[in-house]
């Protein structure tokens, strides 16, 4: 077995594991998501495999519930980000001219503000809900997708087969879906993995700062925030959800590397 396929299987099994947990987690959780099941900060035991948190809730159960919350919010936000970014990117590239200028300049301005800072400013005013969180992340992140999608589509839009399709009289939507999309797909797939990682890290940071997923709902970043004090007492509690974030992102990165080298692409950063 080569190192490359080894890192693929390593990455794939971790990602697979987390996806399965995201689906069945809440069913196999020994306690409820916000159920005060025991004393505060109990150590690892048979009863509480990962101990209890600052409110006496079972850490393992919250981690299982949190996996579903974190992964589903991040996944929906990434999908939405790609839907917005790809649509606008392809449109800008295929239509060019005035439309391209307007969208591109708007994206430039949005990208000149760091995403976390922008999100903090906006989330300071908006009510806290999962839908708004997803929308904010998807819109801000779609600027990055837009840049890539537009650059890819610009290269494809000058190809003869696109010209032929247009001369045939195919509509804009048809050209984007049938000619541009299939040819832009391989780099976009690896970008999807990277953006998903970025959104997981971003969501965790926002939740850690207290403006993301709101308690009592569990998510990984929020769990780190809730249990931050435990570290001062020598407990590894906040490191457990933080470690889960790390494990998932590194696994997705391994898959992205594998996909990139398989399709002969180079990693940009």
Partner 1 sequence: MNGVVRLILHRLALGALTLLAVSLVIFVGTEILPGDVAEAVLGQGATEETVNNLRKLLGLDLPAHIRYLQWLGSLLQGDLGTSLTTGKPVIEMIAPRLENTLFLAGTAALVAVPLAIGLGLVAARFQGSWLDKTISISTLAAISMPEFFVGYILIFVFAVKLRWLPSLAKLSPSMPLGDKLVLIILPCATLTLVVLAHMMRMTRAAVINVMSSPYVEMAELKGATASRIVMWHALPNALAPIITVVVLNLAYLIVGVVVVEVVFVYPGVGQLMVDNVAKRDLPVVQACGLVFAGTYTLLNMIADILSTLANPRLRHPK
Instruction: Look at residues 109, 150, 116, 111 and name the one whose alpha carbon lies nearest to residue 136.
Output: 116
Residue with tokens 């940071």: 205
Smallest distance from partner 1 to CB 173, Å = 29
Q: Which helix (H) or strand (E) holds 107?
A: helix 97-111
Binding partner 1 (rule: CB under 8 A), the pick from 63, 71, 123, 152 is 123
Single residue of 250, 262, 263, 265 touching partner 1 by CB under 8 A = 250
State the Cα–Cα distance between residues 267 and 263, nearest whole angstrom: 11
Distances (CA, A) of 192 to 44, 80, 123, 204, 261: 37, 11, 25, 18, 16
Paired residues of 58 in beta bridges: 52
Residue written as token pair 């209890």 = 52
CB-nearer residue toward partner 1: 162 or 203: 203
Binding mask 195-234 for partner 1 (x = CB under 8 A): --x---x--xx--xxxx---------x--x---x--xxxx
125 vs 158, which CB is nearer to partner 1? 125
How many residues sit close enough to partner 1 to count as binding (CB under 8 A)?
A: 46
122: contact with partner 1 by CB under 8 A: yes
Q: How many CB atoms lie within 10 A of CB 127?
A: 8
Binding of partner 1 by 126 (CB under 8 A): yes
List the one residue from 112, 158, 160, 169 that touches partner 1 (CB under 8 A).
112
Residue 66 near residue 241 (C-beta atoms within 8 A): yes
How far is it, in rounded angstroms, from Cα 53 to Cα 59? Answer: 6
- Which residue lies nearer to partner 1 by CB, 175 or 255? 255
Tell me which of 219, 238, 259, 260 binds partner 1, using CB under 8 A.
238
For the packed helices 59-95 and 3-28, what is the interaxial angle rounded to 10 degrees? Answer: 120
Binding site for partner 1 (CB under 8 A): 108-110, 112-118, 120-127, 197, 201, 204-205, 208-211, 221, 224, 228, 231-234, 236, 238-239, 242-243, 245-246, 249-250, 253-254, 257, 269
């Amino acid at each position: 077995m080569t190192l490359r396929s080894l890192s693929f299987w390593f990455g794939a099994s971790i990602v697979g594991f987390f996806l399965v947990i995201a689906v069945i987690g809440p069913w196999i959780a020994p306690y409820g998501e916000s159920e005060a099941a025991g004393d505060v900060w109990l150590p690892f035991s048979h009863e509480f495999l990962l101990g209890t948190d600052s409110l006496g809730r079972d850490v393992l159960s919250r981690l299982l519930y949190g996996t579903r919350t974190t992964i589903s919010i991040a996944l929906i936000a990434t999908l939405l980000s790609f839907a917005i970014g790809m649509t606008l990117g392809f449109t800008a590239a295929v239509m060019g001219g005035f439309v391209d200028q307007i969208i591109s300049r708007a994206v430039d301005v949005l990208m000149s503000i760091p995403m976390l800072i922008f999100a903090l400013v906006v989330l300071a005013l908006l009510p806290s809900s999962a839908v708004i969180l997803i929308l904010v992340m998807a819109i801000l992140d779609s600027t990055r997708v837009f840049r890539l999608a537009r650059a890819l589509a610009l290269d494809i839009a000058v190809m003869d087969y696109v010209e032929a399709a247009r001369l045939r009289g195919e509509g804009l939507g048809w050209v984007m879906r049938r000619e541009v999309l299939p040819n832009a797909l391989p780099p976009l797939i690896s970008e999807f993995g990277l953006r998903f990682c970025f959104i997981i890290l971003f969501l965790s940071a926002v939740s850690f700062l207290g403006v993301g997923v709101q308690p009592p709902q569990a998510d990984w970043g929020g769990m780190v925030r809730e249990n931050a004090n435990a570290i001062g007492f020598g407990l590894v509690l906040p490191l457990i959800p933080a470690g889960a974030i790390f494990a998932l992102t590194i696994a997705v990165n391994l898959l992205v590397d594998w996909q990139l080298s398989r399709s002969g692409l180079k990693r940009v950063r």
